[in-house]
Structure 1
Amino acid sequence: MAPILQNCVGNERTEYIEHEEVHVKNPHLDSMEEDILYHFNLGTRTHNLPAMFGDIKFVCVGGSANRMKAFAQFIHTELGLAEDINAIEDICAGTDRYSMYKVGPVLSISHGMGVPSISIMLHELIKLLHHARCRDVTLVRIGTSGGVGLEAGTVVITDKAVDSFLRPQFEQVVLGKVIVRSTELDENLAQELLQCSTEIPNLPAVIGNTMCTHDFYEGQGRLDGALCSFSTEDKLEYLRKAHEAGVRNIEMESTVFAAMCRVCGLKAAVICVTLLNRFEGDQISTPHEVLIEYQQRPQCLVSHFIKKRLGLLN
């Protein structure tokens, strides 16, 4: 069955409109008396979502719950907010799926690992922003990745998210049909983030394509999993092909993140630091304290970007 291309089909708008509220792409929601955001433990009847989230301008998402809590505490300090940092609480404490922290105009949310996990989170996040009547929201995924021809510690700002076939698209099976959506991210936002990186000492950053896979081991060409169906030469040939196609890192969430944000008209970026160069190996042997510093680099970049947008930099 041939895939159905839904880049600009029907009501799946892809342009960005300034000063407009966040829109969902589901007409069935209009007939629902209540929308239960099950995995967030929130709902339109049980919570005043506009009062709770209406001032959100930046949403930062990442895989680890602990890391997103640490980011919330970090951005609290960076923004110089008066509230007690210890008062930051997990809004989703009633569920064990995701964690969510609100710090001024910034929302910090964990999304777990892989496309299915972040997809569920994004459905409910976009509906949350819609119900809260948020405007001009920027979404950023921050995380870690394997580098392709880059030194460990390099921050990659994604141009296009590509699949394992190096195609800039995300395929979703819907009612037995394959729906294909574009995964291009906002070019101006990527350039703005790259400029911010030049204003931060010791923060190497590049713009490049990011490959999104459905697996950490065989799907990323690793030789160290419980299963391996290819040779070292096969792996290196695949990585060389990806590098020639502009791929600079590999992770597991970017295609669906880019596709869903694009369809809903949300400006979005993906910023991931590389923990190793995959041409040189598969296992991460860098000392823990160095990895911690690497993991903080996307957070520092996003913080600088947010403060610059809010006019808080001298």
Structure 2
Amino acid sequence: MAAVTTTEKKTTQVNASKDSYVHISNPHLDNIKEDILYHFDLGTGTHDFPTLFGDVKFVCVGGSASRMKSFSQYIAGELKLGDPSDDIPNICAGTDRYAMYKVGPVLSVSHGMGIPSIAIMLHELIKLLYHAGCTNVTVIRLGTSGGIGLDIGSVVVTSQSVDASFRPQFEQIILGKRVVRCTELDEKLAKELLESSKEINQFNTVIGKTMCTMDFYEGQARLDGAFCFYTEEQKMQYLKEAYDAGIRNIEMESSVFAAMCKLAGLKAAVVCVTLVNRLQGDQITSTHEVLAEFQQRPQKLISHLIKKHLGKSEAS
């Protein structure tokens, strides 16, 4: 089937003349009396979105609920908006799908694992920001990944998300037709994150392409899944071709994240630490303590950037 054009006309948005607002593209929402964000357990008829979320400037998303709670506690300490040991309430406590924590202008949200899970979350997150009237919002995904040709513990800031065929696109079937969307991320934001890493000077950070796959095992050319119908030589050839194409890590959410944030007019970035060098093996062998320290690296990097933007860095 032929691909539908990627240029999709915006039919609905807040203050169309102001690019700083969050865009939505769904005229059908105008006919809905109450917009229920089911997977967040929130709704416009039961919650005052502008009061609850109108001051949000940064949204940080990651796979697990515990990781995003940990990040919210960490950023609370960094912004001096609370003690890192404080128990921050889960705004989405009425559902077990996602978790959401708010610390001042920073929203921390879990998205689960894989493209379908994060896509559902993003639809409701974008509508939440829209209903709240938020402006100049930056959205950053932080997480873990498999590295290609990098020392474990390195942090990759995504320049562009590509699919498993190394194409810079997100493909989805809608009404039986193939729709292809752009996976471009904010170049300026990526460079700011790299500069923040240099200022922290605690771990290696690179900018590179990220391959987003639909699967953790065969889709990422692993040899340790329940099924495998290719040789180790074929795996290595594929990964080396990926490296030559500029790909430095592999995960399972960046393509739809980039595509949806771009449609919504949101500045976006993906920051992932590498837990394994896939050119040397498939399984994670680091100790729990080492992995815990690795997973703090994206938090430190993003926190440093947020403090700079909010004017609360030590240098200010």
- TM-score normalized with structure 2 length: 0.96
| Alignment partner, residue 283 of structure 1 | 283
**Contact 1:12–1:263 (8 Å) recurs in 2:** no
Find the counterpart in structure 1 of residue 295 from structure 2: 295
Identity across aligned pairs (percent)?
63
| Correspondence list, 1:40-59, <5 A | 40-59=40-59
Instruction: Give the SS at the match of 2:243.
Output: helix
Contact 1:62 1:111 in 2 (8 A): yes
Encode CA deviations 1:265-295: one digit per residue, 9 max, x unaligned: 1100000000010000000001111111110
With over 3 angstroms needed to count, the CA separation of the structure-2 counterparts of 1:152 and 1:82, relative to structure 1, is closer
Task: Give yes or no for contact 2:158–2:190 (8 Å, CA) kept in 1.
Answer: yes
Q: Secondary structure at the match of 1:5?
A: coil
CA contact (8 A) 2:23 2:263 kept: no
Alignment-mate amino acid for residue 132 of structure 1: A
1:118, distance to aligned residue in structure 2 (A): 0.1
For 1:9 and 1:19, the matched residues in 2 are separated by 16
TM-aligned CA deviation for residue 135 of structure 1: 0.3
Q: CA deviation digits over 1:110-164, x for unaligned, max 9? A: 0000000000000000000000000000000000000011110000000000000
More off after superposition, 250-259 vs 194-203: 194-203
- Given that 2:11 and 2:26 are in contact with CA atoms closer than 8 Å, whether structure 1 keeps it comes out as no
User: Partner amino acid for 2:188?
Assistant: N
- 1:148–1:278 contact (8 Å) kept in structure 2: yes
Runs (5+) with no aligned partner, structure 2:
none
Residue 113 of structure 2 corresponds to which residue in structure 1?
Answer: 113
Aligned to 2:161: 161
Please state how far the C-alpha of 1:17 moved relative to its aligned partner: 8.5
Match of 1:9?
Answer: 8
| 2:117 aligned counterpart, secondary structure | helix
**Number of equivalences:** 311
Distance, in Å, in 2 between the alignment partners of 1:121 and 1:31 is 22
The 1:140–1:125 alpha-carbon spacing in structure 2 relative to 1, beyond 3 Å, is same
Equivalent runs, 1:1-314 vs 2, <5 Å: 1-6=1-6, 8-11=7-10, 20-82=20-82, 86-313=86-313, 314=315
Cα drift, residue 4 of structure 1: 1.4
1:35-85 per-position Cα deviation (integer Å, ceiling 9, x unaligned): 000000000000001000000000000001100000000000000015896
In structure 2, C-alpha distance between the alignment counterparts of 1:226 and 1:117, rounded to whole Å:
23
Q: Which residue identity lines up with residue 241 of structure 1 in the other structure? A: E
| Structure 1 gap ranges (5+) | none
Separation (CA, whole Å) in 2 of partners of 1:82 and 1:171: 42
Q: Secondary structure at the match of 1:123?
A: helix
User: How far 1:10 sits from its partner (Å)?
Assistant: 2.4
How far off is 1:18 after superposition? 6.8
TM-score (norm 1): 0.96
Following superposition, the deviation at residue 19 of structure 1 comes to 6.3
The amino acid that maps onto 2:47 is H
How many angstroms apart in 2 are the aligned matches of 1:299 and 1:42?
Answer: 27
Instruction: Provide the rounded CA distance (Å) in 1 between the counterparts of 2:305 and 2:11.
Output: 29
